[in-house]
Chain A
Amino acid sequence: DIQMTQSPSSVSASVGDRVTITCRASQDISNWVAWYQQKPGKAPNLLIFSASSLQTGVPSRFSGSGSGTNFTLTISSLQPEDFATYYCQQANSFPYTFGQGTKLEI
C-alpha cells in the first residue's frame, strides 16, 4: 500500500497567517492527490483534487501543488472558519490511502 505522511501533525496559527501543510507519498503517485478539510462532527469536505485543482465553491485562498511524491496544501490568509483538520489522500492505486491528518489550531 502507498503510505501518505503528513507534516506537521498539528500547527498553531493566527487569522491572516499563511500556512503550508505537506504530504509525502511512499512512491511516485503523479498528481493523484486530493485534500480535504474536516470540522468536528462533520463529514470531510473536498478542497483540492488532482494535486492543484480547486473544487467548485472552495475559496481561492486554498491552493495545492506538487507531483511525484511531494505535495503541499497552502492557505494564503487564514480565516476563522479554516481552523479544522486537513487530510491528504492518494488516488494512484488501491487502496486509496489517507494521510494521518494535520490539526490547524489557533
Chain B
Amino acid sequence: QVQLVQSGAEVKKPGASVKVSCRASGYTFTTYGITWVRQAPGQGLEWMAWVSVSSENINYEEKFEGRLTLTTDTSTSTVFLDLRNLRSDDTAMYYCARGTAEYDYWGQGTLVTVSS
C-alpha cells in the first residue's frame, strides 16, 4: 500500500534550520511528484513547494524563495524539505503529499515548533 512516512517532531530556535524527510513506499517513486503543504495551528493549508522526482524540476512558493530547498534521494525514495532562518511564524504542521495537481496520499505530518 502507498505510504508516505515523515520524520518526527522538531523544536528549533529562531534563526535555526530544520530538515524534514518524507519516505515513500508502495509505488514507483519516480512516477509521481511530491508536494509540501504546511498548516499553522488553527489555520488553513498553505502550499509550499513541489518537486518532480523524475526530472528534479522544483517549484517554490515565492515567499519561501531563498529559505527553502527540496532535495530527493531516489535510492531511498525520500524527499527532504530544508527550511532555514526559522521564524516563530514557521511553527506549523508540515505535510508531504503525493502528486502534482492533486494529492491522493499524504504523510502523517511533522510538527515544527520555533520558539526561543
Nearest-CB distance from A70 to chain B (Å)?
A: 19
Q: Which residues of B contact A20 (CB under 8 A)?
A: none
Nearest-CB distance from A31 to chain B (Å)?
A: 10
Interface residues of B in 56-81 (CB under 8 A from A): 59, 61-62
B3 touches A (CB below 8 Å): no
* Cα distance, A99 to B109, chains bound together (Å): 20
Q: Which among B59, B103, B108 is the interface contact of A44 at CB below 8 angstroms?
A: B103
On whether the beta carbons of A55 and B104 are closer than 8 Å, the reply is: yes
Q: Which residues of A contact B108 (CB under 8 A)?
A: 43
On whether the beta carbons of B62 and A46 are closer than 8 Å, the reply is: no
Nearest-CB distance from A7 to chain B (Å)?
A: 14
Q: Which residues of B contact A44 (CB under 8 A)?
A: 37, 45, 95, 97, 103, 106
A91 touches B (CB below 8 Å): yes
B46 touches A (CB below 8 Å): yes
Q: Which among B44, B50, B62, B106 is the interface contact of A96 at CB below 8 angstroms?
A: B50
Chain A positions within 8 Å of B, measured between CB atoms, are: 1, 32, 34, 36, 38, 43-46, 49-50, 55, 87, 89, 91, 94-101
For the complex of A and B, list the 10 residue pairs with the smallest distance between their C-beta atoms, beginning with the closest. A91-B101, A43-B106, A49-B102, A34-B102, A95-B61, A98-B45, A94-B59, A101-B44, A96-B47, A100-B44
Chain B positions within 8 Å of A, measured between CB atoms, are: 35, 37, 44-47, 50, 59, 61-62, 95, 97, 100-104, 106-109
